[in-house]
Structure formats: structure tokens, C-alpha cells
């Protein structure tokens, strides 16, 4: 019993009022977004609500930290649009389940820490690209199908749609200036719903796209062939979804850590997120990941324990079971307005204010990630390319930092004092520092302010000592750190390197076979 109590954080000091109200508020903000994202991807709206319930409940109970909120997020849904269009929803369910397995493996092998390798410019580009995708997708709602062809709305239908969207946006923008007691997006949807229903306005509603009536999420094995060919189809989407979900989730976890002054468990969050996505694949859910906006709503409402997330998930389930007839009457225009505001809120406007303070390569990296995100709708590929570019730029800048100070002591021994890391990017500059032909018979290379980082560096040192040896000169390596010595020792099977202490200079000597 005590384990159950600890699991729900009831053993801690919990403000139950704040937790319950925060949970209800989060649920009301998640419902329109889950519906909108499901419709965006071409899924039945109920699939979005199932995802919100399953993701929210599992991660609230088992996640890496209290306070985070997960649901059917746009970051992961966008990844699945192409698969939905090419192979249908059953393949989507298979891909979501497989993505969950991959995320669980990341957590088991404790790989969640590698989120630190994603630099800020890459995340700016990723978030901005995602915001553009969400905004552009809402423009599609201003179209209708006539004789099997998609055409733009015109006349009164267009004016009604635009007017209702503008009303929604106006409420979302202005209401927080009056009160923050209730979610502005929820109030906007209710007001637009009341206007449409009260005046009998004809406009597209959720039920015009698909039914949202349903019961408890039923168990369902994806109706796909379990073979290599199917795996080839779904694995790329699963890998991308897993990567995007973990990136979004672990970044949200770091954000909550900073806001609350506490520390979450990234690997535990990976396992919880993966478990929730795997369940989504077998219970008619579209999957998802932690949602930054809902997490911020939860924290701003005073929630600090797991109870708020549990309340939010159960509220969504109750609405699925009993509130479907009402949800089906919600005007699409209201959801479009909410999603446009989500896109505006997602966009990192601060990136414009600091653009003149950022290095040029960071600006180019962020812009490139945003362009790839919008152009290919492939968020993981965009982030991966951004990380690779950032890594190459870092390697180039680090390579330029290597320097050498040289002098000849009273014994006639020439000293090379190396500054900066010796790795694959700096080996050429390092080699150019030495004058083998005119150097004396004994040379000391001092690594006190440097370190040997990789195999390229080892091979460079081996090549350098061979060149000195070929002209009858001796090289000593001084002040090698323990990790550098291990690298040189481990490399003996690959290159001809032997390490020994020199009692005269107290250095490590690198000899080659004569």
C-alpha cells in the first residue's frame, strides 16, 4: 500500500486543490489540441483523444518527473502524416508501437543524457519549423471537397470561417489580460460553439470529418503483416517519431528542472514515454510525447506532483465516454483558431531578437534546420543534420585553437609546448608546427596544455616520431594525461607505439622500431 501511495506522491506535501484544478485545466487545453492534431494528420478525432488519455496517464504515473504533461503532440503526429497517406492508419499504429519499443530501449541503456548534444540554434530551428508546419496545416481547413476535388472556400462560407477563426484568436489573445482563472482556448471554443449553435450558423464541425463517440480504448493488434517488408516500411517512421518524442520530452524535462529547481530522471522518462506509445499502438492511439504548452499551464496552475497529470488524463477519458455528442458539434473554425495561436506560441520569437548576437554559423544552422523541417516535414532528420553541422563547426573552430610554443634549453634540447586539443581536425595544423630537418637530435613535445583525443591524433604522433627517427633524432612526449597514455597503450596493436618513463626528463618516450 505504501508503494502505491509513494507512486502517486500522496506521501509528500501536496496541495490537492491546486493539483485537481490544474489537472482539469490541462485536460481542457489538451482536448482541442488533440482533436486538431488528429484532424491535421487525417486520423479519426477519437484517435487523438485516446492518445491524450493513454500518454497522459502512463507518463503521469511512471514518468521521470512530476509536473510534466504528455499527450498527442504535434511534433510526433507530423512525422506520421506521410505514412498515413501512403499506407493507412493500421501501419500508423504499428509504427507508434515500434517507436515505443525504441524509446524503452533508450531508457534501459541510459542514453537519455545525449539530449545535451542538441545545441540551442538547432532547437530554435526545430521549434520554428514545427510552428510553421502547424500554421500552414491550418490553411488547409479553408478548403472544401467538391466533386472529389479540393477547392478553396468562397463567398459566405469563407467569410463565416474567417470570422469565427478571428473571434477565436481574439478571445485567446484578450481573455488572459482580463483573467487567467480559466484557459483562454477553452473559453474561445465554448464561445464560438455557442455563437454557431445559438444563431444556427452553418459551418464545418468535428463530426463532419469523423465521429468522436466511443468507449474505453479497445485492445487492437495492428492489422498489418508482421514481416521484414512491413518493418522496412514502418521502421524509418518509428525511428523518427521516437527521436522527435524523446528530444521534445527531454528538453521539456530540462525546462521543468530549471523552473522548479529540482532534478528529473531522463532515463525513467524515456521508459515511461516508450511504454505509453507502445500502448497507443495497441489501443487505437496516435502516440505522442510531453507537451511544453500544457506542462507550462500545469506548472503555472501550481501543480508540482503527479496527481494533476492523473486528473487530466481521467478527465479526458470521462469526456470520451460521455461527452462525445457535444465534442462532435465543435466548429472546426474554433480548433483552427486555437491551433494558429499554438503555432504563434510555439515559434521562438526571441530567436529574432538575439540573431544579431549569435555567430553566423549558428544563424545558418538554425535557419537550415527550420527549412528542412518545413520542406521535408522530417523533424528528426532536421535535428540530426543540425547537430552534425554544429559538431563540424565546433570541430573546425577547435582545430584552429591548437598552437605550439618552442624553444631550445641549455642542454640543446628543443621543446614544443602544445596548446589546444589534438584530434582529427587539428592534426594537419599540429604537424605543420614541427621543423624536423633543422631540429636538434633530441626533441620534447609537452602536452601539459593539450590532450590526445582520438585515433587520428595517435596516428599523427606515430607518423611524426617515425619521421624524426628516420633522420636519427629522438622524441619525448611529456605531461601526457592518464587517458592519453591509455589511448597510446591501447593503440599498440594498431600502430607501432611503445610508452615508457624517461628518468631524465620524466616524460613518456615514444619509440618506433628501427
Give mean pLDDT, residues 100-112: 92
- Are the C-beta atoms of 394 and 152 separated by less than 8 Å? no
With contact defined as beta carbons under 8 Å apart, do 41 and 77 qualify?
A: yes
Q: How many helices (H) and strands (E) does the chain have?
A: 21, 10
pLDDT at 512 over 50: no
The whole-angstrom distance between residue 22's C-alpha and the CA centroid of its chain comes to 25
What pLDDT, on the 0 to 100 scale, is given for residue 171? 92
Average pLDDT over residues 42-71: 93
pLDDT tens readout for residues 59-88 = 999 998 898 999 998 778 888 988 999 999
More confident: 129 or 32: 129
Mean pLDDT of 188-194: 90
CB contact at 8 A, 311 and 24: yes
Pairing of strands 474-478, 442-452: parallel
Provide the pLDDT for residue 225: 93
**Tens digits of residue pLDDT in 468-492:** 888 988 888 888 777 677 766 655 5
Q: In the predicted model, what is the mean pLDDT of the chain?
A: 82
What stretches of 291-412 adopt beta strand conformation (E)?
A: 403-408
Q: Of all residues in the chain, what percent are helix, strand and coil, respectively (each to 5)?
A: 65, 10, 25
* Complete domains list, the chain, with CATH: 12-391 (no CATH), 403-511 (3.30.750.24)
pLDDT at 11 over 50: no
Residue 504 above 50 pLDDT? no
Q: Which helix (H) or strand (E) holds 168?
A: helix 155-178
Amino acid at each position: 500500500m505504501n508503494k502505491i501511495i509513494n507512486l502517486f506522491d500522496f506521501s509528500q506535501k501536496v496541495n490537492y486543490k491546486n493539483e485537481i484544478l490544474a489537472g482539469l485545466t490541462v485536460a481542457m487545453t489538451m482536448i482541442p489540441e488533440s482533436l486538431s492534431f488528429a484532424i491535421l494528420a487525417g486520423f479519426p478525432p477519437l484517435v487523438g483523444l485516446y492518445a491524450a488519455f493513454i500518454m497522459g496517464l502512463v507518463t503521469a504515473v511512471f514518468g521521470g518527473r512530476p509536473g510534466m504533461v504528455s499527450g498527442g503532440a504535434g511534433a510526433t503526429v507530423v512525422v506520421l502524416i506521410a505514412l498515413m497517406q501512403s499506407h493507412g492508419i493500421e501501419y500508423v499504429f504499428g509504427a507508434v508501437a515500434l517507436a515505443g519499443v525504441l524509446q524503452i530501449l533508450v531508457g534501459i541503456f541510459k542514453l537519455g543524457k545525449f539530449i545535451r548534444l542538441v545545441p540551442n540554434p538547432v532547437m530554435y530551428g526545430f521549434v520554428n519549423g514545427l510552428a510553421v508546419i502547424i500554421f500552414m496545416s491550418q490553411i488547409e481547413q479553408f478548403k472544401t471537397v467538391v466533386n472529389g476535388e479540393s477547392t478553396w472556400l468562397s463567398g459566405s462560407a469563407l467569410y463565416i470561417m474567417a470570422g469565427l477563426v478571428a473571434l477565436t484568436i481574439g478571445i485567446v489573445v484578450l481573455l488572459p489580460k482580463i483573467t487567467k482563472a480559466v484557459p483562454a482556448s477553452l473559453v474561445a471554443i465554448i464561445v464560438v460553439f455557442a455563437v454557431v449553435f445559438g444563431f444556427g450558423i452553418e459551418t464545418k464541425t468535428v463530426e463532419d470529418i469523423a465521429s468522436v463517440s466511443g468507449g474505453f480504448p479497445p485492445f487492437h493488434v495492428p492489422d498489418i503483416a508482421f514481416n521484414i517488408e512491413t518493418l522496412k516500411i514502418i521502421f524509418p517512421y518509428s525511428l523518427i517519431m521516437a527521436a522527435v518524442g524523446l528530444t521534445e520530452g527531454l528538453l521539456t524535462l530540462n525546462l521543468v528542472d530549471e523552473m522548479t529547481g529540482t532534478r528529473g530522471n531522463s532515463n525513467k522518462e524515456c521508459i515511461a514515454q516508450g511504454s505509453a506509445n507502445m500502448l497507443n499502438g495497441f489501443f487505437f492511439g496516435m502516440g505522442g510525447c510531453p507537451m511544453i504548452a500544457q506542462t507550462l499551464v500545469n506548472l503555472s496552475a501550481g501543480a508540482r506532483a503527479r496527481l494533476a497529470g492523473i486528473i487530466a488524463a481521467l478527465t479526458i477519458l470521462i469526456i470520451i465516454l460521455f461527452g462525445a455528442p457535444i465534442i462532435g458539434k465543435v466548429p472546426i473554425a474554433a480548433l483552427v483558431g486555437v491551433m494558429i495561436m499554438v503555432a504563434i506560441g510555439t515559434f521562438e520569437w526571441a530567436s529574432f531578437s538575439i540573431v544579431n548576437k549569435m555567430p553566423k554559423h549558428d544563424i545558418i544552422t538554425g535557419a537550415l534546420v527550420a527549412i528542412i523541417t518545413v520542406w521535408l516535414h522530417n523533424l528528426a532528420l532536421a535535428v540530426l543534420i543540425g547537430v552534425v553541422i554544429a559538431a563540424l563547426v565546433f570541430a573546425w573552430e577547435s582545430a584552429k585553437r591548437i598552437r605550439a610554443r618552442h624553444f631550445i634549453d641549455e642542454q640543446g634540447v628543443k621543446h614544443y609546448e602544445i596548446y589546444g586539443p589534438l584530434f582529427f581536425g587539428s592534426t594537419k595544423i599540429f604537424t605543420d608546427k614541427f621543423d624536423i630537418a633543422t631540429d636538434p637530435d633530441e626533441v620534447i613535445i609537452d602536452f601539459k596544455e593539450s590532450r590526445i583525443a582520438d585515433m587520428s591524433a595517435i596516428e599523427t604522433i606515430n607518423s611524426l616520431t617515425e619521421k624524426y627517427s628516420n633522420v636519427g633524432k629522438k622524441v619525448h612526449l611529456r605531461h601526457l594525461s592518464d587517458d592519453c597514455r591509455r589511448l597510446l597503450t591501447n593503440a599498440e596493436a594498431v600502430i607501432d607505439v611503445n610508452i615508457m618513463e624517461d628518468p631524465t626528463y620524466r616524460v613518456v618516450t615514444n619509440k618506433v622500431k628501427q
